[in-house]
Amino acid sequence: MTRARAELVRESALAVIARELDIGSRLILGPGELKSGGHRRDSILADALEALVAAIHLDAGFETCRAVVLPWFEASIAALPPPNKLGKDAKTRLQEWLQARQKPLPIYALLSESGDEHAKIFRVECGLTDPAISCEGEGSSRRAAEQMAAEAVLQQVDRHR
């Protein structure tokens, strides 16, 4: 259940719902955020959706909030894989693999950030000392880049077994 909940309330999932509700066009943003496309940024949209849910809850109570908000999540809930198919992310799998073998944890290093403020690309390196493996990953967030790098390291580990 925790993985399913995490899948539903992660930033990118909330941003999708916020876009469906066209929340971005209703935000009042400062000039800098307007120029950088803040009304399209996942973090801002997710935060705005969370604030909207909280306002409904505080203003109208739990039952009304549930009745209003639950339909927003119906498509996301329907798209969830069965509970036994919710897989662990690459960083978790890598950490568990290392811990099971009493190996040092990976080290993630930000190599670069590029692109416009609203469309950044992050490049991250994931390095192991034992076994000595290092891989890079790219993503639209630092976390996504870390996941890609961890997945690449896991593939290298599989090849060396």
pLDDT at 45 over 80: yes
Number of domains in the chain: 2
* pLDDT given for residue 138 in this prediction: 94
pLDDT at 61 over 90: yes
Domain holding 106: CATH number?
Answer: 3.30.160.20
Regarding whether 94 and 66 lie in a shared domain, the answer is no
- Mean pLDDT along residues 72-93: 78
Close Cβ partners of 10 (under 8 Å, ≥ 6 residues apart): none
Whether residue 89 has pLDDT greater than 90: no
Same-domain pairing of 80 and 115: no
82 against 151, higher pLDDT: 151
- Please give the DSSP secondary-structure letter assigned to residue 100: H
> Is 160's pLDDT higher than 80?
no
pLDDT at 86 over 60: no
Can you give the CATH number for the domain in which 30 is found?
Answer: 1.10.1520.10
Would you say residue 84 has pLDDT above 80? no
Average pLDDT over residues 108-134: 92
Do 55 and 121 share a domain, yes or no?
Answer: no
- Pair 56, 99 in one domain: no
Eight-state DSSP code of residue 25: G
Main-chain phi, psi angles of 129, to 5 degrees: -100, -30
Q: What is the pTM of this model?
A: 0.52
CB atoms within 10 A of CB 145: 25
Q: How high is the pLDDT of residue 71?
A: 95
Residue 131 to residues 81, 92, 98, 124, 160: CA-CA distances in angstroms?
A: 33, 17, 10, 19, 9
Q: Give the pLDDT score at 118.
A: 79
> Which residue range(s) make up the domain with 121?
90-159
For the record, the structure tokens of 18 come out as 């916020």
- Across the chain, what does the average pLDDT equal? 89
Q: Are 81 and 94 members of one domain?
A: no
Confidence of residue 87 (pLDDT cuts 50, 70, 90): low
Q: What is the mean pLDDT of residues 134-157?
A: 93
Helices (H), the chain: 2-9, 11-20, 31-35, 42-60, 62-79, 90-100, 142-159
Residues 133, 161: Cα–Cα separation, whole Å: 13
Say which residue the tokens 């090849």 belong to. 159
| pLDDT at residue 83 in the model | 56
